[in-house]
Structure 1
Amino acid sequence: VEDVNDNAPLFLQSTYEARLLENESNFDSPLFIEARDADLNGTKNSEVRYTLIGYSQFKRNFTLDPVTGELKPRKPIDFEALVQQDTKTLLGSFPVSLQVKAEDGGRPSLSSITTVTVYVQDINDNPPIFEVANFSTTIPEDTPGGTSLFKLIAHDADGSSPNNAIAYRIVDGAGDKFVMDSTTGVISTAIGSNLDPDLTQPRTMRYHLKIIALDGGIGKQQLSATATATVMVRDVNNKPPVLEDPGTVRIRENTPVGHVATRLFAHDPDTTAKLRFTIDHSGTEGRNEEGRIVRNTEVNLEASLELDPNDGTLRLTKVLDREEVETIKLIVNVEDLEAQK
């Protein structure tokens, strides 16, 4: 009795599934797609050969042994090359669907088709990359706490979460002055902070922040990137000048006009200060040897001394007679012309 090819090959499983790690050259264990034909053993009718069929764009990534049915990746697969922009929310794996045909050698031949789903598993092989690795900005010293200053952004090219999720933090240089939103990358002045250089020890007008971006890898697989941000503090002219007490100034009577009686000094911590000295003549007062107040109409005290508005030099503009006036009290003002209004 001659065998007739009346049995198509039958796969041992209705579907096949396997996991393949990104960048690996093979599966964790060999994957065989196996079918058996019930026709007479040892004849063409029962001889089964395997081929990849269909129009899957991923078919070119795999090879299939026509005799043994072993499926292998043609080369290590890059997960990110498979994943499209709209599928980046996939949690770690990308399903690749393939069709395998098992065909016997009979005339005419008979065949069966099965589906093989390969889940390509993303691994954390891409570190975050900052858009700008070195950033600098200048802010005024009176910037309130809680003010958003700038934003540093990093991107991770991994194709799935949590590998491409990024968390930010400042690892050095912030002190109690700056904070960073771990999700958005926004750096702000800390609540309650004061950037006034005159109130910091040591006096600080420049902060160097070291920032790290960490992806969602676990343990040793976690990858990171660093960036630096330089924050320069600009002086704001918002502090009053302080006039040094000149003490008692003594002048001999009949000292010639033009004599420098003293020089007044004032200090202003603001770097842009421009000081002007003036005499408030409404408070000018003279007294004679007996302690009696000498009126301005008697001696013309306002015309006796002249104060240079720029350098604080106090000069005689009139020869003084001790018998007319023994002491002169002056009220001196110092003003910062560049002060913030």
Structure 2
Amino acid sequence: MIKYLTYKHCKGLTLLSVLLGMLCKTGSGQIHYSVQEELDKGSFVGNISENLGLQPWELVEHGVRIVSRGRTQLFALNLRSGSLVTAGRIDREELCAQSTLCLVKFNILVEDKLKIFEVEIEIKDINDNAPDFLTEELEIKIGELTVSGTRFPLKTAFDPDVGMNSLQNYHLSPNDYFSLAMKHVSDGAKYPELVLERALDREQKKVHQLVLIASDGGNPVRSGNLYIQVVVLDANDNPPVFTQSEYQVSVPENLPLGTTLLTVNATDPDEGFNAQVSYILDKMPGKVAQMFDLNSVTGDISILKSLDYEDATFYEIKIEAQDGPGLLSRAKILVTVLDVNDNAPEVAITSLTGSVPEEAPAGREIALINVHDQDSGQNGQVTVSVLGNMPFNLEKSIDQYYRLVTARSLDREQVSEYNITLRATDGGNPPLSTSTHITLHVEDINDNPPAFSQSSYSAYIPENNPRGASIFCVIAQDPDSIHNAHITYALTEDTIQGVPLSTYVSINSDTGVLYALRSFDYEQVRDLQLLVTASDSGNPPLSSNVTLSIFVLDQNDNVPEILYPALPTDGSTGVELAPRSAESGYLVTKVVAVDRDSGQNAWLSYRLLKASEPGLF
């Protein structure tokens, strides 16, 4: 709070020397004195005894006293010295206000002579009052767009003194914006006015502190101060200003909806409504305006829709900051979308061979594969591999194309069909992968002859078999397929005892079953050696042979034949001679018999059927 300097009325020193005015005796006996105000009580005013022509001690004797009404309290008689003195402190301004001439009149009575004298005392002004403003402070409000030269009336000061001791001049404290002018009116009074010398700028300086000094002409000079506060009223002369003309922010594409990307800020050096800043999105093409939201109050930029690096890697957002009356400024936000590994690689089979012949050389192309990852950088770097221990390789072609080729010759008989799994994996962290499956059929070629399970076979058939009886069945296997695995059987032409083999046995070309074409006689043919050929239907056909041994099993179809003793051809009974002296155990004869059968069927036993003398032989 601005305080004014307070000046106490200076105590006037008691004037020991009193200026006595010339005593003027009129017809009514008037006495005139002059005295300065503010003298101490008892200060000498005039030698009243001398003016009355009396000695001081005669004043009491003649009954001299002040008798007239009025302000007799201001003065008193000193009967001891015969002087007129002040009865108290005299304030001229209280007695006479601002009258130029201040006179105090009263009467003095000389009682024994019945004479009355008129006394007139002029109260002289001293500079005991400083100019004073009715208020200590003055606030003036000036708009910052006010033109130079505009005047603003100021408060006036009041000084109760008169003459040169009263208010004489005004002065303004030094400053760069204002000067002081005096307005003169018809009564001669002067009124101070504040003159604007140069344009104000509230944003540079909101308040100007001035001091108006009112001074009088006394000695010493007294003065009073009026503290002036000039408040510069805001005008909307400044648009909002962004802290940056261009904001840059980089954000990952997987930010949740509603996430605040950044906060823009614009300030307006104006105040009040002129400084109320609101933010708006400038018109933007396409879907950019649907992607972002700008809080008009806080300046927060947030996302309304999910960002997708693969859709757009960069956004330029234009924004405006507007104050209350409508001044605006612009800025732009550059949003860089950072890729995250949110896309798995894509695998496309551009060309595919569904089958490949076996024994094709290594490097035979199976498929042309294209891989693609919508991510970028390391997230979009894709490697492709064949899962499992498979006889296939991937060869890099142009761009993101790969050739799937055989790593070696294939063997359909080992694996006739491959379920190939290709896995494409990107370089993200964590990596994402995609698998695709290819079914490859191995085409058969006739690379395998029919094969018998044994290198040779043996078959057994009892003699006397019926014609057409099934003897044996040979089976060959061919690991090839379809016609390459279709087997036909045949017997190699041969002769047995000069007779064609085909008259003995036949073979079913489809089933490999052998049939007897005649009834075998063990005693004539004991075994047959056949060569069976199995041929596939390939082109060219392949074949293999196997030896089949057919053994004829003997049956007891022959009776023993006695060779000796032989029966007479003439129908007589054969006779063997033995001496009469033959002893027991004597060999009479030997019976020799044979059997054309074999084995047990040919084992012979002998017994006597009949004897003329039982017990003799």
Q: Structure 1, residues 136-183: CA drift from partner, whole Å, max 9, x if none? A: 23222112223233333333333x334344333332444232233434
Q: Structure 1, residues 285-304: CA drift from partner, whole Å, max 9, x if none? A: xxxxxxxxxxxxxxxxx33x
Q: Structure 1, residues 182-219: CA drift from partner, whole Å, max 9, x if none? A: 344333333xx210144xxxx32110011222234x2x
Residue 65 in structure 1 maps to residue 181 in structure 2: yes
Q: What code does the residue aligned with 2:344 have?
A: P
Which of 290, 300, 306 pairs up with 1:186?
300
The answer for the alignment partner of 1:333 in structure 2 is: 422
* C-alpha distance 70-307 of structure 1, shift in aligned 2 (>3 A): closer
Q: What code does the residue aligned with 1:306 have?
A: N
The answer for the alignment partner of 2:409 in structure 1 is: 319
For the Cα contact (< 8 Å) 1:208–1:231, is it kept in 2?
yes
For the Cα contact (< 8 Å) 1:17–1:118, is it kept in 2?
yes
Which of 239, 259, 264 pairs up with 1:127?
239
Matches of 1:17 and 1:26 in 2, distance apart?
Answer: 19
For the Cα contact (< 8 Å) 1:241–1:335, is it kept in 2?
yes
Q: Structure 1, residues 244-290: CA drift from partner, whole Å, max 9, x if none? A: 245552324443222222222233222232323333348xxxxxxxx
Residue 196 in structure 1 maps to residue 330 in structure 2: no
Question: What secondary structure, in the 3-state scheme, does the structure 1 residue paired with 2:429 have?
Answer: coil
Which of 215, 233, 236 pairs up with 2:323?
215
For the Cα contact (< 8 Å) 2:365–2:406, is it kept in 1?
yes
**What are the within-5 Å matches in structure 2 for residues 246-325 of structure 1?**
249-272=354-377, 273-281=380-388, 302-303=390-391, 305-308=392-395, 312-320=402-410, 324=413
**What are the within-5 Å matches in structure 2 for residues 54-133 of structure 1?**
61-68=177-184, 69-83=192-206, 94=207, 96=209, 98-99=211-212, 101=214, 118-133=230-245
The answer for the alignment partner of 2:256 in structure 1 is: 144
Q: Percent identity?
A: 25
RMSD of equivalent CA atoms: 4.1
Which of 280, 289, 305 pairs up with 1:175?
289
The answer for the alignment partner of 2:339 in structure 1 is: 235
Higher relative contact order (CA 8 A, sep 6+): 1
Matches of 2:313 and 2:245 in 1, distance apart?
Answer: 22
Residue 50 of structure 1: how far off its partner (Å)? 4.5
Which of 124, 139, 143 pairs up with 1:21?
143
Matches of 1:318 and 1:331 in 2, distance apart?
Answer: 15
Q: Structure 1, residues 1-20: CA drift from partner, whole Å, max 9, x if none? A: x9439799999986866432
Q: Which moved more, 1:67-76 or 1:133-142?
A: 67-76
Matches of 2:362 and 2:221 in 1, distance apart?
Answer: 129
Question: What secondary structure, in the 3-state scheme, does the structure 1 residue paired with 2:272 have?
Answer: coil
For the Cα contact (< 8 Å) 2:133–2:225, is it kept in 1?
no
* C-alpha distance 27-17 of structure 1, shift in aligned 2 (>3 A): farther
Residue 64 of structure 1: how far off its partner (Å)? 1.8
- Consecutive unaligned residues in structure 1, runs of 5 or more: 84-93, 283-301
Question: What secondary structure, in the 3-state scheme, does the structure 1 residue paired with 2:356 have?
Answer: coil
* C-alpha distance 314-270 of structure 1, shift in aligned 2 (>3 A): same
Q: What code does the residue aligned with 1:168 have?
A: Y
Question: What secondary structure, in the 3-state scheme, does the structure 2 residue paired with 1:51 have?
Answer: strand
Residues matched between the structures, number: 291
The answer for the alignment partner of 1:88 in structure 2 is: none
* C-alpha distance 116-237 of structure 1, shift in aligned 2 (>3 A): closer
For the Cα contact (< 8 Å) 1:48–1:67, is it kept in 2?
no
Residue 79 of structure 1: how far off its partner (Å)? 2.0
Q: What code does the residue aligned with 2:205 have?
A: L
For the Cα contact (< 8 Å) 2:133–2:224, is it kept in 1?
no
- Consecutive unaligned residues in structure 2, runs of 5 or more: 1-98, 102-123, 185-191, 431-617
Matches of 1:281 and 1:209 in 2, distance apart?
Answer: 51
* C-alpha distance 320-59 of structure 1, shift in aligned 2 (>3 A): closer
Q: What code does the residue aligned with 1:265 have?
A: N
For the Cα contact (< 8 Å) 1:241–1:269, is it kept in 2?
yes
Residue 100 of structure 1: how far off its partner (Å)? 5.2
For the Cα contact (< 8 Å) 2:262–2:301, is it kept in 1?
yes
The answer for the alignment partner of 1:166 in structure 2 is: 277
For the Cα contact (< 8 Å) 2:318–2:332, is it kept in 1?
yes
Matches of 2:218 and 2:386 in 1, distance apart?
Answer: 120
Question: What secondary structure, in the 3-state scheme, does the structure 1 residue paired with 2:204 have?
Answer: helix
Residue 307 of structure 1: how far off its partner (Å)? 3.5
* C-alpha distance 3-275 of structure 1, shift in aligned 2 (>3 A): closer
Matches of 1:109 and 1:312 in 2, distance apart?
Answer: 108
Residue 332 of structure 1: how far off its partner (Å)? 1.6
For the Cα contact (< 8 Å) 1:167–1:214, is it kept in 2?
yes
TM-score normalised by length of structure 2: 0.40
For the Cα contact (< 8 Å) 1:25–1:76, is it kept in 2?
yes
Q: What code does the residue aligned with 1:189 have?
A: I
* C-alpha distance 135-80 of structure 1, shift in aligned 2 (>3 A): closer
Q: Structure 1, residues 72-114: CA drift from partner, whole Å, max 9, x if none? A: 123222223333xxxxxxxxxx4756435275x7999998766
